[in-house]
Amino acid sequence: MLEMGRILTALGLPVSASGLIIYAMGASYVIPSDSTMNIGLVMMIGGLIVGIIGIVMYRQTTQD
């Protein structure tokens, strides 16, 4: 369980940061790209959720 928490944290938070970059790229076009912005939002929200779950799992296993 300890490794799963580390893996989720290690994957979730960088995906969230990448989602922010992709969202900004979609918004920076002269005509904003809705599909790129939507993909960025999904990546930001999903990565943040997975990262938080990973942190909570890691904390639970280290406190036991």
| Residue 54 buriedness (CB in 10 A; 0-12 / 13-18 / 19+) | buried
> What's the confidence (pLDDT) of residue 26?
92
Q: Is 56 helix (H, G, I), strand (E, B) or coil?
A: helix
Q: What is the DSSP string of 17-63?
A: HHHHHHHHHHHTSSS--HHHHHHHHHHHHHHHHHHHHHHHHHHHHHH
* Structure tokens that stand for 51 in this block: 């990262």
> What's the confidence (pLDDT) of residue 1?
73
Q: What is the mean pLDDT of each run of 10 residues along the chain (64 residues)?
A: 89 96 93 93 97 93 74
Going from N- to C-terminal start, the domains of the chain cover 2-63
